[in-house]
Amino acid sequence: MTPEEKREYQKQWGIKNAKKIKARNKKYYNDNKEKIKASSRRWCDENPDKCKARSMNYYQSNKEKIKEKQKNYRDNNQAKITEYRTLYYEANKEKMNAKSKEWRENNNEHIIEYRKKWYYLNKDESLLRRKLYYEKHHDNERRRRKRYIDELCDCYVAGLLKMTLDSIPSELIEYKRLQIQLKRKIKNLKNGNTEIIEHKNDVLPPIEHNR
Protein backbone atom coordinates (compact mmCIF):
# COMPACT_ATOMS: atom_id res chain seq x y z
CA MET A 1 0.00 0.00 0.00
CA THR A 2 1.45 3.33 -1.08
CA PRO A 3 1.53 6.32 1.32
CA GLU A 4 -1.28 7.98 -0.65
CA GLU A 5 -3.45 4.85 -0.47
CA LYS A 6 -2.74 4.57 3.25
CA ARG A 7 -3.82 8.17 3.86
CA GLU A 8 -6.98 7.65 1.84
CA TYR A 9 -7.76 4.44 3.74
CA GLN A 10 -7.31 6.22 7.08
CA LYS A 11 -9.51 9.07 5.90
CA GLN A 12 -12.32 6.73 4.86
CA TRP A 13 -11.97 4.71 8.05
CA GLY A 14 -12.24 7.91 10.07
CA ILE A 15 -15.43 8.92 8.25
CA LYS A 16 -17.03 5.51 8.79
CA ASN A 17 -16.06 5.42 12.48
CA ALA A 18 -16.55 9.08 13.41
CA LYS A 19 -18.75 8.35 16.44
CA LYS A 20 -16.38 5.71 17.73
CA ILE A 21 -13.39 8.05 17.38
CA LYS A 22 -15.24 10.91 19.08
CA ALA A 23 -16.20 8.71 22.05
CA ARG A 24 -12.62 7.44 22.34
CA ASN A 25 -11.19 10.96 22.24
CA LYS A 26 -13.69 12.16 24.80
CA LYS A 27 -12.80 9.32 27.16
CA TYR A 28 -9.09 10.00 26.74
CA TYR A 29 -9.62 13.70 27.46
CA ASN A 30 -11.67 13.01 30.59
CA ASP A 31 -9.04 10.53 31.84
CA ASN A 32 -6.17 12.94 31.18
CA LYS A 33 -7.81 16.36 31.57
CA GLU A 34 -5.22 18.03 33.81
CA LYS A 35 -2.30 16.62 31.82
CA ILE A 36 -3.77 17.88 28.53
CA LYS A 37 -4.53 21.33 29.99
CA ALA A 38 -1.00 21.65 31.37
CA SER A 39 0.47 20.64 28.02
CA SER A 40 -1.77 23.12 26.20
CA ARG A 41 -0.82 25.96 28.57
CA ARG A 42 2.85 25.15 28.16
CA TRP A 43 2.57 25.19 24.36
CA CYS A 44 0.73 28.55 24.45
CA ASP A 45 3.39 30.02 26.75
CA GLU A 46 6.08 28.91 24.32
CA ASN A 47 4.12 29.94 21.17
CA PRO A 48 1.94 32.96 22.12
CA ASP A 49 1.50 34.26 18.55
CA LYS A 50 0.54 30.85 17.16
CA CYS A 51 -1.78 30.24 20.12
CA LYS A 52 -3.52 33.57 19.58
CA ALA A 53 -3.88 32.97 15.84
CA ARG A 54 -5.25 29.46 16.39
CA SER A 55 -7.78 30.71 18.94
CA MET A 56 -8.87 33.51 16.62
CA ASN A 57 -9.27 31.15 13.66
CA TYR A 58 -11.33 28.75 15.76
CA TYR A 59 -13.54 31.56 17.03
CA GLN A 60 -14.16 32.97 13.54
CA SER A 61 -15.03 29.49 12.25
CA ASN A 62 -17.37 28.68 15.13
CA LYS A 63 -18.65 32.11 16.19
CA GLU A 64 -22.38 31.35 16.36
CA LYS A 65 -21.81 27.98 18.02
CA ILE A 66 -19.57 29.53 20.68
CA LYS A 67 -22.03 32.36 21.40
CA GLU A 68 -24.90 29.93 21.79
CA LYS A 69 -22.84 27.73 24.10
CA GLN A 70 -21.82 30.74 26.22
CA LYS A 71 -25.42 31.94 26.42
CA ASN A 72 -26.65 28.53 27.55
CA TYR A 73 -23.93 28.37 30.18
CA ARG A 74 -24.79 31.84 31.51
CA ASP A 75 -28.49 31.02 31.65
CA ASN A 76 -27.88 27.80 33.57
CA ASN A 77 -25.15 29.03 35.93
CA GLN A 78 -26.12 32.53 37.09
CA ALA A 79 -25.36 31.90 40.77
CA LYS A 80 -22.03 30.25 39.97
CA ILE A 81 -20.99 33.12 37.66
CA THR A 82 -21.94 35.76 40.23
CA GLU A 83 -19.97 34.00 42.93
CA TYR A 84 -16.93 33.62 40.67
CA ARG A 85 -17.00 37.31 39.66
CA THR A 86 -17.31 38.40 43.29
CA LEU A 87 -14.37 36.24 44.39
CA TYR A 88 -12.28 37.29 41.40
CA TYR A 89 -12.97 40.97 42.02
CA GLU A 90 -12.04 40.68 45.70
CA ALA A 91 -8.78 38.96 44.76
CA ASN A 92 -7.93 41.47 41.99
CA LYS A 93 -9.64 44.64 43.20
CA GLU A 94 -6.76 47.08 42.69
CA LYS A 95 -5.85 45.69 39.28
CA MET A 96 -9.45 45.78 38.03
CA ASN A 97 -10.13 49.26 39.42
CA ALA A 98 -6.98 50.58 37.75
CA LYS A 99 -7.95 48.95 34.45
CA SER A 100 -11.49 50.35 34.65
CA LYS A 101 -10.17 53.82 35.47
CA GLU A 102 -7.77 53.71 32.53
CA TRP A 103 -10.57 52.62 30.17
CA ARG A 104 -12.88 55.41 31.39
CA GLU A 105 -10.14 58.01 30.94
CA ASN A 106 -9.45 56.80 27.40
CA ASN A 107 -13.14 56.59 26.45
CA ASN A 108 -14.65 59.57 28.25
CA GLU A 109 -16.42 60.99 25.18
CA HIS A 110 -17.85 57.58 24.33
CA ILE A 111 -19.16 57.14 27.90
CA ILE A 112 -20.79 60.58 27.95
CA GLU A 113 -22.46 60.00 24.59
CA TYR A 114 -23.69 56.55 25.64
CA ARG A 115 -25.17 57.89 28.90
CA LYS A 116 -26.90 60.71 27.05
CA LYS A 117 -28.53 58.35 24.58
CA TRP A 118 -29.54 55.91 27.30
CA TYR A 119 -31.03 58.70 29.41
CA TYR A 120 -33.16 60.13 26.62
CA LEU A 121 -34.32 56.68 25.53
CA ASN A 122 -35.12 55.65 29.12
CA LYS A 123 -35.93 58.95 30.81
CA ASP A 124 -38.75 57.68 33.05
CA GLU A 125 -36.77 54.62 34.13
CA SER A 126 -33.68 56.75 34.78
CA LEU A 127 -35.60 59.19 37.00
CA LEU A 128 -37.24 56.31 38.88
CA ARG A 129 -33.87 54.62 39.42
CA ARG A 130 -32.40 57.85 40.72
CA LYS A 131 -35.31 58.36 43.10
CA LEU A 132 -35.14 54.79 44.45
CA TYR A 133 -31.37 54.97 44.83
CA TYR A 134 -31.59 58.25 46.73
CA GLU A 135 -34.27 56.89 49.06
CA LYS A 136 -32.18 53.80 49.76
CA HIS A 137 -28.89 55.68 50.22
CA HIS A 138 -30.18 58.95 51.60
CA ASP A 139 -27.46 59.43 54.24
CA ASN A 140 -24.66 58.45 51.86
CA GLU A 141 -25.99 60.84 49.23
CA ARG A 142 -26.10 63.70 51.75
CA ARG A 143 -22.49 63.03 52.75
CA ARG A 144 -21.42 62.80 49.12
CA ARG A 145 -23.18 66.06 48.23
CA LYS A 146 -21.56 67.78 51.22
CA ARG A 147 -18.16 66.57 50.03
CA TYR A 148 -18.86 67.85 46.51
CA ILE A 149 -19.76 71.23 47.96
CA ASP A 150 -16.91 71.46 50.46
CA GLU A 151 -14.33 70.41 47.86
CA LEU A 152 -15.99 72.33 45.00
CA CYS A 153 -15.96 69.28 42.73
CA ASP A 154 -16.33 69.85 38.99
CA CYS A 155 -19.90 68.53 38.89
CA TYR A 156 -21.01 70.92 41.67
CA VAL A 157 -19.37 73.95 40.04
CA ALA A 158 -20.88 73.07 36.65
CA GLY A 159 -24.30 72.76 38.30
CA LEU A 160 -24.01 76.28 39.73
CA LEU A 161 -23.46 77.52 36.20
CA LYS A 162 -26.44 75.45 35.02
CA MET A 163 -24.20 73.55 32.61
CA THR A 164 -23.19 69.90 32.20
CA LEU A 165 -19.64 68.63 32.57
CA ASP A 166 -19.41 67.63 28.92
CA SER A 167 -20.44 71.09 27.71
CA ILE A 168 -18.44 73.38 30.01
CA PRO A 169 -14.79 74.34 29.37
CA SER A 170 -12.40 73.25 32.12
CA GLU A 171 -11.03 76.83 32.31
CA LEU A 172 -14.48 78.16 33.19
CA ILE A 173 -14.82 75.57 35.98
CA GLU A 174 -11.48 76.68 37.44
CA TYR A 175 -12.46 80.35 37.18
CA LYS A 176 -15.76 79.76 38.94
CA ARG A 177 -14.10 77.60 41.61
CA LEU A 178 -11.60 80.36 42.41
CA GLN A 179 -14.40 82.89 42.55
CA ILE A 180 -16.35 80.80 45.08
CA GLN A 181 -13.25 80.15 47.18
CA LEU A 182 -12.57 83.88 47.31
CA LYS A 183 -16.17 84.66 48.26
CA ARG A 184 -16.09 82.06 51.05
CA LYS A 185 -12.78 83.40 52.32
CA ILE A 186 -14.09 86.97 52.44
CA LYS A 187 -17.20 85.89 54.33
CA ASN A 188 -15.10 83.89 56.79
CA LEU A 189 -12.89 86.89 57.46
CA LYS A 190 -15.90 89.14 58.02
CA ASN A 191 -17.28 86.65 60.51
CA GLY A 192 -13.91 86.20 62.21
CA ASN A 193 -14.07 82.53 61.29
CA THR A 194 -11.15 80.53 59.92
CA GLU A 195 -13.17 77.41 59.10
CA ILE A 196 -14.84 76.58 55.81
CA ILE A 197 -18.36 78.02 55.78
CA GLU A 198 -21.48 76.47 54.35
CA HIS A 199 -22.35 77.20 50.78
CA LYS A 200 -25.88 78.51 50.38
CA ASN A 201 -24.47 81.68 48.83
CA ASP A 202 -22.17 79.98 46.36
CA VAL A 203 -24.40 81.07 43.49
CA LEU A 204 -22.98 84.40 42.36
CA PRO A 205 -24.06 86.96 39.76
CA PRO A 206 -23.37 85.97 36.14
CA ILE A 207 -19.67 85.70 35.32
CA GLU A 208 -18.33 87.88 32.55
CA HIS A 209 -15.79 86.04 30.48
CA ASN A 210 -14.29 86.32 27.02
CA ARG A 211 -16.13 84.56 24.28
The model's pTM is 0.41
| pLDDT for residue 198 | 45
| pLDDT for residue 210 | 39
| pLDDT for residue 134 | 82
Which of helix, strand or coil describes residue 139?
Answer: helix
| pLDDT for residue 136 | 84
CA distances for 137 relative to 25, 45, 80, angstroms: 56, 47, 28
Distance in angstroms between the alpha carbons of the first and the last residue of the chain:
89
Average pLDDT for consecutive 10-residue bins of the chain (211 residues)?
83 87 89 90 91 91 92 92 92 91 88 85 86 85 87 88 82 90 87 55 43 33
| pLDDT for residue 193 | 61
| pLDDT for residue 208 | 40
Domain range annotation of the chain: 65-106, 150-211
| pLDDT for residue 114 | 87
CA distances for 111 relative to 97, 106, 124, 153, angstroms: 17, 10, 20, 19
